[in-house]
C-alpha cells in the first residue's frame, strides 16, 4: 500500500483548499469533479485556470491557446512564474516535483500532461 496521500479522498470530504477560493468558481468546481471522478477534462480546465492566474502579463486568450504554446517564449512566463505554478500544484495535490521534471515543462501541453500524470498516479 502506498504512503502517498490520495488527493481524491480528502478533497471529497474536506473544505475547499484555500488557494482555490481566489480562482474563478469554475476552478473549484473542476477540482471537486476531478477529485470525485478523476475526470481529465475537469483537471484540464483547472490547470488552464491556474495558468491564467499565474501568467505574469495577464496575456489575453491563453484559455483558448493550444498545447504547443510555449510558457516562456509565447506566454511570458519566467522561470519564477513556472516555479510558482509548480508550487501551486504541489501544494494543491500534495505532490513533489523535482528540478529535472520542471526542466521538461516547456509548453502548456507538457505542463498539462505532467500534472495529469502526477495527479492520476496519486488518485489511482
Partner 1 sequence: MKRVLVTGLGWVSSIGNDKATVSDSLRKLTHGFEAVTWLGNPKITTKVLGTVKGFRIPTPEWRDWSWPDHYTIPPEILRSLAPHGLYALCASLQALADAGLRTADIGNCETGLFTASAGSPYMLHHFLGQMHQAKAERGNPMGVVSSISGTLNFNLATYFKIQGAVCGYVSACASSNHALGHALDDIRLGRHKRALVVGAEEVQAESILPFAGMRALSVNPDPDTASRPFDRRRDGFVGTGGAVALILEEAGEAKARGAHIYAELAGWGQAGDGYNVAMSHPEGRGLATAMERAIKDAEIDARDVDYVNAHATSTPVGDRSEAIALKRVFASAERQPWVSSTKALTGHGLSMAGALETAICALCINEKFIPGCAHLEDIDPACEGLNLPRKSLSEAPAVVLNNSSGFGGSNVCLVLRSWND
Query: Strand, helix or coil at 70?
Result: strand
Q: Which is nearer to partner 1, 19 or 117 (CB)?
A: 19
Q: Which is nearer to partner 1, 81 or 115 (CB)?
A: 81
Q: 40, 63, 91, 101: which one contacts partner 1 (CB under 8 A)?
A: 91
Closest alpha carbon to 120 in 32, 35, 47, 12 = 35
Q: Is 15 in contact with 32 (CB distance < 8 Å)?
A: no
Q: 26, 36, 37, 96: which one contacts partner 1 (CB under 8 A)?
A: 96
What is the nearest approach in angstroms of partner 1 to the Cβ of residue 86? 8
Q: Which is nearer to partner 1, 23 or 32 (CB)?
A: 23
26 near partner 1, judged by CB under 8 A: no
Q: Is 46 in contact with 72 (CB distance < 8 Å)?
A: no
What's 49-60 look like in SS3? HHHHHHCCCCCC
By CB under 8 A, what part of segment 60-89 binds partner 1? 80-81, 83-84, 87
Amino acid at each position: 500500500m502506498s504512503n502517498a496521500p490520495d488527493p481524491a479522498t480528502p478533497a471529497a470530504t474536506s473544505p475547499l483548499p484555500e488557494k482555490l477560493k481566489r480562482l474563478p468558481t469554475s476552478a473549484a468546481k473542476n477540482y471537486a469533479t476531478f477529485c470525485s471522478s478523476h475526470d481529465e477534462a475537469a483537471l484540464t480546465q483547472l490547470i488552464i485556470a491556474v495558468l491564467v492566474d499565474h501568467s505574469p502579463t495577464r496575456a489575453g486568450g491563453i484559455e483558448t491557446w493550444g498545447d504547443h504554446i510555449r510558457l516562456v517564449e509565447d506566454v511570458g512566463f519566467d522561470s519564477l512564474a513556472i516555479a510558482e505554478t509548480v508550487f501551486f500544484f504541489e501544494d494543491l495535490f500534495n505532490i513533489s516535483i523535482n528540478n529535472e521534471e520542471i526542466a521538461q515543462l516547456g509548453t502548456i501541453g507538457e505542463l498539462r500532461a505532467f500534472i495529469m500524470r502526477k495527479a492520476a498516479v496519486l488518485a489511482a
